[in-house]
Structure 1
Amino acid sequence: MNKIFNHSKLIIVIIFILTAFFAYQLPDLKINNEVDIFLPNDHPSRVANRRMEDIYGGSETMVIAIDAKKSTILDKDNIKLISELTDKLENIKNVNDVKSLSNADYIDGTAEGLEVAPLAKEIPKNSQEISEIKRKLISWDIYKGNLYTNDFKASQIMIKLKAGVDIKAKEDVYFKIKDILKGYKQDDLKFYIAGSPAVTVLLGENMQSDLKRLIPFVILVVLISLYLSFRNLGGVVLPIMTVLISTVWALGIMAIFGINLTMVSTVIPVLLIAVGSAYGIHIISHYYDEIRSSKGELSPQENKEIVLEVVTKVGKPVALAGITTIVGFGSLATSRIMPIKYFGIFTAIGVATALIVAITLIPAILIVRNKELKYQDKDDKQEGLLNRILMGLYQYFSKRRIRVLAFTLVIIILSIIGMSKVVTDSILVEMFKKKTEIRQADKFANDNLNGTNILNVLIEGNQRGALTDPDILKKMDQLGIYLKDNFTAVGKVTSFADFVKRMNKVMHYPAETSSQKKKTTYKQDSSFEENTSSFSQETTSSFGENSDSFSEETTSNFGEDTSNSSVKQNSAEVKIKGPSTEKLSEKELALLFNQALLKAKELNLTAEEFVELINKKLNYQGEAYNEIPYDLDKYNKSSKEQLSQLINGYLLMYSGSLDDLINYQLDPSKARMMVQIKTASNITTKTIEEGVDQYVEKNFPKGYEVTVAGTADMSLAVNNLIVSSQIRSIIVSLLIVFIIVALSYRSFVAGIFGIIPLAISLLVNFGLMGFLGIKLDIGTAMVASIAIGIGVDYTIHFLSTYEDERRETDDLEVVTKNTLFTSGKAIVFNAVSVATGFAVLLFSNFNPLVNLGLLVSITMFSSSVASMTVLPILLNLIKPKFISKNSRVEDNEASATLN
């Protein structure tokens, strides 16, 4: 030891050179909070998402939700604004596609076949043109909840990003959208930007804000804490220097290895500054205790001897505390959640650095600059106050041992009850405060539209054309209906089946007679009979009949020669039955309504549902064919293969793009269903995924593989890993702490004593989480390992000093008092420093970090109190052999014999 510190100046120079080198790497650190980086590269959810993007392209979408407060979204000025916005958004770099009320595809039927055109080809000039847009919207339910709401007060613009864009590109897109929207500020319309890319971008922005505010704040808090503890320049400067160096080293090494900063790693600088000071505190505290007992001036040699004595005396418990802390954080390296894994690794590196610097740099500086750092005896009052507090603590608990243990047992029972209430749900958007812009945007979109959380269901056939089979298409359609009917959080299910149904419907529009083509005029005060559209009795008598819009000759073309993309729909070629213009009596009208009602599954119909039933009965605009072609008789086909050919014929005529939903425009073998969910809750996503699995298992035909993928699925995967990672890290860290303590004292019982205060503090932590409604998420999942890594220091320092005192006497009162007056003070200083340091996280922009700061602060209190109360009570009651005076004498004699 003496030889090492003979080169104190060299130690100082080497450490500062290394610090400068690592500081140079810091600008290379990048921020990234993409959901996929939370998972290992080979995780099934991440693999499924990559495969989905390879087939269908990127699926990440930002959403601009529009709220019309005074008018409706169908106001002509609002439609014009949406059209202008759409054009501008399409020109943003890295935007792949934009869909809105103005340019969304509308599939219609004409005499020439299918027509695909924008919903609003031109800006409407009058109420009739607005009504036409409204009619189109209502005629196809794929738009409902996406482009309009029931009250027509809200809409959204969906901005799909190019595949594979990095976080920087997403930031550019997001802020460009913000700039564009600034030019459209008005009283009537309010805009909200939502979607997972927006969440990712804002996580990074708020992280930078956190780092800029919290690091100076935690440094200030720790400085104040150190000053109040020592009231001496050395006691303030040296510990804070240690932690700043360790922080620079840890982050510099992260930069060298190309590890991105995430919301989780925001905690690293705060943690190292708050925790790393502990080792310096113990050395400084014991150093000042030693020089306080000396009289007069200290020579450089005397000062050096004191430093070496302190390092020798405190070195073992400090090193042991550091190692166990490294183990506590290092246990997080077993996590499969990558940011938590890296947090554990680089926090452990930072703690190791803080330990090395504390036991080398601090003694070296104390030796080199002994005069300036010589202790000034000016805090006797403070020392006396702290001693009185510790004495009062001892006297109170020493006289109430059984009561203290009983109270501890009650706390343990209550904590176990609280643990049962803990919910695991790590929701990215809920990491922001409720009043933040992104939370408000997400809430508006989920409350008014179909939802921003997307779960993708991938269906894969075993051959080309497998997805035009009417069997699988019908089951896909029914799966969508099942999810919508059974899960209230499901806002919309969109699939290839929706487009097949629409194409089938428009290709079966009834042929209009010349009288139907005439405009119908309505008089305001006309009678019921004059104003009601009439239908012939011949038509109403055939409600149960099915009719095909194609003649046998026409439909057979799909199976024979699909090279001809024009399918004519002349009245001479097709057999159509539909609404007639003949008068319908009131009795016949009542019969129509009743027959429609008989088709309803339930009687609590909305007006929209009732009109749909009427339309189906009359085949109004082909509504009777708004289905997957499945019935052979209805479509005059002899086999399912011919129905499949019919569907392929539709695809041949369709001029729009279905790349988002199928892998090939003709004869697709793979398809994607997009489930919009009105909440980001992983608990909800899990129940929906289970519903998909159960329905597919029972109903889907053989030969199809069904998987789920996307952001919602990856978020659920992260959520599932939290619990397993939490359990694994707790078991590993407690086990290794137990082993280290047991080996250090060569006693199994010592290992048990070492983890008792930790176990109590962990139970208190999870109990509080349950009672306070704090979720186990990506932030709070780290509390346990942090509590073990830091809290073990208090136990080790108390045990070490207790052991030293026990060597001197068997009077347990004297042993306990002396332990409290030496290590007890350092424990208090350490706990206050760490707790106040972590309390800075209460001012974080992120809810999980706020909860982390609160829980770690409370855990520091509970673990330090347990170390100074429950631990000495148990030691004095049980009197374990591993720490008795006689066992130490025997160990010394055995050691002397061996020597």
Structure 2
Amino acid sequence: MRKILKHNKLIVIIISLITVFFIFQLPKIEINNDIQVFLPDDHPTKISNNRLDEIFGESDSIVTAVKFKTGEIFSPPNLETLSKLSSELENIPSIDEVTSLTNADYIEGSSEGMIVEELVEELPTNKEESRKIKSKTLNWDLYENNLYSDDFKSTQIVISLNDGLNNEEKEKAYYQIKKVTDSYQNNNTEIYIAGATAVNVLMGHSMLEDIKYLIPFIIGVLILILYLFFKRSLAVVLILMTVLVSSIWAIGLMAFLGINLTLVSTVIPVLLIAVGSAYGIHILSHYYDYLNEYQGEISVSEQKELVIKTVDKMGKAVFLAALTTIAGFGSLASSQIVPIKSFGIFTAFGIAAAFIVALFLIPSLLIIIANIKNDVLAENVETAEFKSILEKLHNFYSKRRISMIILAVLILSGSFLGFEDIIVDTPLIEMFKEDTEIRQADDFINDNFAGTNIMRVMVEGEEMGDLNHPDILTQMDGLQQHLVSHFDEVGKASSITDYIKRMNQVMNYPEAETTKTSTNSEENAVKTNESLETSSSFYEDDSEESASSFYKEDTQKTNKNSEANSSSFYQTENKKSTNSQPKREVLEGPAREKNISEYEFIQLLNAALTRAEKKNINAGELVNLLAEEMNYQAAAYYEIPTDLDKYGAASKQNLQNLISQYLLLYSGSVDDLINDQLEPDKAQMLLQLNNPSNLAAQKVRKEIYDYSDNFPEDYKLTVSGNAAMALEANNLIVSSQTRSIIISFIIVFLIVAISFRSVIAGLYGIIPLAFSLIINFGLMGHLGIKLDVGTAMVASIAIGIGVDYTIHFLHSYHAERIKEDDLHLVTQKTLTTTGKAIIFNAISVAAGFLVLLFSNFYPLIYLGFLIAVTMCTSSIASLTILPLLLNIFKPEFISKEH
């Protein structure tokens, strides 16, 4: 070191140039908290989600909920507000589509055929017109829990963003949307914005707030603690410079390599400021101890010798401490959760930088300052109080060995009891505090609508047209109904089956119930039927024909004029084999003038109830069952057509052709639900979960895969989406945590064992760490702190930092043990020298991490709290349990020269 420190000015210049380089990289850093960044690129769920994005388009959307305090959403003034809001949102460049109550597609049947129009063609001017719009909305369950809430006071506007937007463009789009919606906030209107994109944008905003306020806060805390300990401004400046340089290097390297800043990596500068001070503290603490031995003036040459003596004495211990800390954080590189992996790698780099600065820059500056100041007066600023406290502590526990062991066992036993209560869950939205705008918006939407947590299910056939088959569509519809009825967390399940059922219904309206359409609607309907007739022969079996009619005034008329009045999907050019075609069963709608007796009314209710899947149903469900029983507005046809007799089809192929033509006739876009408008082989089902918990998503996903056994073997189901990716990230937490802990312990064991050339030494090295980790996990269980993406790092951080205390104590104890055989005196000297630095370091680190209690995010709050606790427990264990064991068992390695 003497030769290296001769070039002290060159060392300062090199470190300064590197720091300046990384400072210029800092503006390049980008923030990204998309759930996809948590999974490695080769993870199956991430790959499948990317594949779904390619097939059906990206699922990035922002959900806006609008609540009206006065009147229903269907009232004229409220619909007018929604219309204007939707129009303004559509003008934002980054928005692909806006779907709201005033512009949603509505499929209707008429005497002319199927009509696809906007749900609100013209804004209502009176209550009667409003009721008609409300009736239409309630007529199709696709809108339920999406376009209206149960109390009809709130509605949703779903905003789909353009594909391929980068994070900056998404952020810009969010704030443009926010600006528009804020202009509509008034005494009658409340607007909530939620969704994955909103969460990511606001998480980034809150992260910047954390960095802006917490870093100055922790620097202030560190300055205060350093000054109280050293009582020298120079020591404060040198140590502060060490941590700032290491933080700049770590974040600057991330920016240089294009690594995104995530919620997890927000902790890096805070951690480096708190932890990186340790090496400077130990070096300067011993340097000033040597300096305090002098009385009066000390020459420049003597100061230089003290610097070199300090580095030579502390160099090995500081190196081993840094090496084990780097290993502790480096173990996180084994994590499959990408932000945690990045956190481990760049924190380890930052620790290495802090070690280099402490070992080379601080001594170099001390020498340069000594040259400038020439002779100085050595001041003994140390007080005896702290030393006295440590001596009393040692005297206290050294006389109570058995009591100390019993106390340690009781603490560990109580901690183990908390293990079974640890919950592994990491929903992104729950990282925000309850009083934040995004959290309140998410809660409002989950309480009043289908939910914001999206799970995507892709059903995939082998050949084009496989997803037109009525049997597979029936299975898809069955899965949707099963999930909604069996899981309260599933607020909505939607797919192409909802559209096919609706089209099947409206194309089978009883003629007496068909709506009278406007001129434009009639033209659209006529085109629909013309398209139906001209295209039908393309899908038919050449050997079959049909006499089925979509509309029937009465049975006799239909039978007499079946050929003239029918619009058959199965009609062929061969008109001679009519008798071979199965006769279609045509269901009439309810009679408009028939009076029924009380007995018949009870019979009707009973008949409707027999259709129910459960006994306890609400009024709305009863009305729907009555509509099916009486075929009101073809409610009996709100189904996937599978019954050959009912639809007058000779084979399932005929019904498959029928479904193909439904899709052909639909003038709206269903690209986000099927991969081909005519003959799809892939379809997407969207599940909206009203519970952000990954535990809820896990139950739903398991049920989907269990239910998939009902699907034919040549069909494949794949579950993905934000909910599935968050679940996978959640599942990786435990495995990653276990792996990183094992790796950390192994590396610490090896480093300590090699350093002391003893396997037993390695075991002693991990005892205090194991003690603190057991307390940490027990505390999490007892306090209900979840194991999430933030708290998952506590163990590795605790090992990485806590091992410093063990190494410093072992080295100091070993040095004193070689000089002395009196174990009481050896322990006392170790405590009053190295023990002093250990306690101070633990206090500074704990205080630094306690600053995270003021973070905007719960994972960081709990991380700060738990790290502070582990710093206390690991340092106390190093100063009590470790010397207790050394003095009781007297291992050979501690008294041997190495």
Superposed, 1:684-763 pairs within 5 Å as 684-697=696-709, 699-763=710-774
Task: Find the counterpart in structure 2 of residue 567 from structure 1.
Answer: none
In structure 1, the partner of 2:96 is 96
2: CA distance, partners of 1:674 / 1:548: 42
- Kindly state the Cα deviation for residue 575 of structure 1 after the two structures are TM-superposed: 5.1
For the structure 1 residues 513 and 863, does the alpha-carbon distance in structure 2 shift closer, same or farther, using more than 3 Å as the test? Answer: closer
Per the alignment, in what secondary structure is the counterpart of residue 857 of structure 1?
helix
Which SS does the other structure have where 2:735 is aligned? helix
Residue from 376, 379, 396 that aligns with 1:377 = 379
**Any idea what SS the aligned residue of 2:296 has?**
coil
Stretch deviating more after TM superposition (294-303 or 470-479): 294-303
| 760, 776, 780: which one aligns with 1:769 | 780
Indicate the residue corresponding to 2:660 in structure 1.
648
Deviates more, 1:19-28 or 1:732-741: 19-28
Cα offset for 1:602? Answer: 2.6
Matched AA of 1:633: D
Determine whether 1:668 maps to 2:700: no
State the secondary structure of the residue aligned to 2:58: coil
Q: Which amino acid is 2:845 matched to?
A: V
Q: Work out whether residues 110 and 515 of structure 2, in 8 Å CA contact, stay in contact via their aligned partners in 1.
A: no
Could you tell me how far apart the structure 2 residues matched to 1:452 and 1:215 are? 33
Instruction: Identify if the C-alpha distance between structure 1 residues 737 and 576 changes in structure 2 by more than 3 Å, giving closer, same or farther.
Output: closer
Aligned mates of 2:572, 2:306 — CA distance in 1? 99
Query: Within the alignment, does 1:82 sit opposite 2:94 as a pair?
Result: no
Q: 2:645 aligns with which of 633, 636, 644?
A: 633
Q: 1:652 to 1:375 in 2, by over 3 A?
A: farther
1:137 deviates by 1.0
Counterpart residue type for residue 613 of structure 1: L
Please name the residue that 2:805 is paired with. 794
Equivalent residue number for residue 145 of structure 2: 145
1:853 aligns with 2:864: yes
Deviations 1:8-65 (A, max 9, x none): 1221122112111111111111111111111111111110111001000111110011
Displacement, 1:513?
Answer: 8.1
Number of the residue aligned with 1:540? none
Alignment of 1:458-607 (within 5 A): 458-512=458-512, 557-559=568-570, 577-586=588-597, 587-607=599-619
Structure 2 counterparts to residues 762-841 of structure 1, below 5 A: 762-841=773-852
- Work out whether residues 548 and 634 of structure 1, in 8 Å CA contact, stay in contact via their aligned partners in 2: no
Distance 1:550 1:351 in 2: 88
Q: What secondary structure is seen at the aligned counterpart in 1 of 2:835? A: helix
TM superposition shift of 1:557: 4.0
Q: Quick check: 1:247–1:269 contact (8 Å CA) kept in 2?
A: yes
Counterpart CA distance in 2 for 1:783 and 1:550 is 79
Q: Distance between the aligned counterparts of 1:515 and 1:720, measured in 2?
A: 53
State the AA in 1 paired with 2:782: F
Shift of residue 373, structure 1, vs aligned partner: 10
Q: Which amino acid aligns with 2:837?
A: A
* Alignment correspondent of 2:387: 387
CA separation of 1:477 and 1:555: change in aligned 2, threshold 3 A: farther
Q: Aligned with 2:853: secondary structure? A: helix
- Please state if 1:255 is matched with 2:255: yes
Counterpart residue number, 1:197: 197
TM score, norm. by length of structure 1: 0.92
SS in 2 for 1:150: coil
1:879 maps to 890
Distance 2:588 2:48 in 1: 47
CA RMSD of aligned residues (A): 2.2
Task: Decide whether the 8 Å contact of 2:753 with 2:759 is kept in 1.
Answer: yes
CA 1:737/1:384 → structure 2, altered by over 3 Å: closer, same or farther? Answer: same
2:499 maps to a residue whose letter is F
> Does the CA-based 8 Å contact 1:552-1:636 persist in structure 2?
no
Point out the more displaced range, 471-480 or 176-185. 176-185
1:868 alignment counterpart:
879
The CA deviation at 1:177 is 1.0
1:230 alignment partner in structure 2: 230
Q: Quick check: 1:550–1:574 contact (8 Å CA) kept in 2?
A: no
1:171-190 alignment, distance < 5 Å: 171-190=171-190
Does the alignment pair 1:68 with 2:68? Answer: yes
Distance 1:549 1:222 in 2: 95
Query: Deviation at 1:783?
Result: 0.6
- Larger mean CA deviation between 252-261 and 724-733 belongs to 252-261
Equivalent residue number for residue 291 of structure 1: 291
Contact 2:298–2:377 (8 Å) recurs in 1: no
Measure how far apart 1:552 and its partner are. 7.5
SS at match of 2:361: helix
Tell me the secondary structure at the aligned position of residue 222 of structure 1: helix
1:10 corresponding residue in structure 2: 10
Aligned equivalent of 2:155: 155
Please say if residues 30 and 260 of structure 1, whose CA atoms lie closer than 8 Å, have aligned partners that are also in contact: yes
Measure, in 2, the Cα distance between the counterparts of 1:189 and 1:637: 52
CA distance in structure 2 between the partners assigned to 1:603 and 1:21 by the alignment: 72
1:399-440 Cα deviation digits (max 9, x unpaired): 111111111111111111112211110111111111000000
Tell me which amino acid in the other structure corresponds to 1:413: S
Residue pair 2:111, 2:514 contacting (<8 A) in 1 also: no
* Identity fraction in percent: 52
Aligned position for 2:547:
none
Q: 1:379 Cα deviation (Å)?
A: 3.2
Structure 2 unaligned segments of length 5 or more: list them. 518-553, 574-583
Q: Determine the C-alpha separation between the residues in 2 that align with 1:505 and 1:711.
A: 33
State the partner residue of 1:434: 434
* Structure-2 change in CA distance of 1:336 and 1:553 (3 Å): farther
Displacement, 1:6?
1.4
Task: State the one-letter code of the partner of 2:18.
Answer: L
- Distance in 2, matches of 1:266 and 1:786, equals 15
In 2: Cα distance, 1:513 partner to 1:880 partner: 95
Deviates more, 1:872-881 or 1:59-68: 59-68
User: In the alignment, is the contact (CA less than 8 A) between 1:320 and 1:796 conserved in 2?
Assistant: yes
Alpha-carbon spacing, 1:768–1:514, altered in 2? closer, same or farther (3 Å): closer
What is the 5 A alignment of 1:398-437?
Answer: 398-437=398-437
Checking the alignment, whether the CA contact within 8 Å between 2:68 and 2:190 is kept in structure 1 is: yes
